[in-house]
Structure 1
Amino acid sequence: MDRQSPSAPSSTLSAEQAGPDGEIWATALKFGMIQRHLEETERHATLGKRIVEEQRRRVAELEREGHDVQAAHYLLNLFEEIQTMHVSHGKRLQEELDKFWDKA
């Protein structure tokens, strides 16, 4: 289920709300929504990259010190999977934005 906060603008308009240029406004709203999601995804990917790098350093340090690294490796793998999802989502959003420019 797609949930929006009450203050978030809707990406679709009724025919009455749209007026003669309704399609343009609906497209602009959708473009803006995708752009905001892409910016958020890029922030998440930037942070995720740093988290993965830090976890790799932790794993290496724990290994050097002879500690059990099973849990640390598990977390590293989890962080890497999440990072892959952030990057993939960003690519999909960018492809959606590119479609807007192709139509222009």
Structure 2
Amino acid sequence: MPSSVTDERLVAQLKALAHPARLKILDLLAARGDCICGEVVNVLPLTQSTVSQHLKILKEAGLLIGTIDGTRSCYSLDSQAFGVSQRALTNRLAVYEACEEDDEG
């Protein structure tokens, strides 16, 4: 994982996070460490196909790591990707905040 994130990647990740069901999936994965797609279906009131689509979006955004175990797909959070994106967003927001303070001063 690179130590910085492109604007395109950050936008894709923010878009992926902008859905309540995907946030719930991330919460579930954070609590469990990893999860089989079917386990997500058992916990959340979503169909298998809907869960699969949400997991695909999160994985394509670089927020999840997916492994295949036979016919089952197991997902976990990519904590390194979250860290890199968090730093990029924090740095960007700090610049915006500094600009606002300059305008007020």
Q: TM-score, normalised by structure 2?
A: 0.37
Q: Work out which of the two has the higher radius of gyration on C-alpha atoms and give 1 or 2.
A: 1
Q: Which structure: greater strand fraction?
A: 2
Q: TM-score, normalised by structure 1?
A: 0.37
Q: Which structure: greater helix fraction?
A: 1
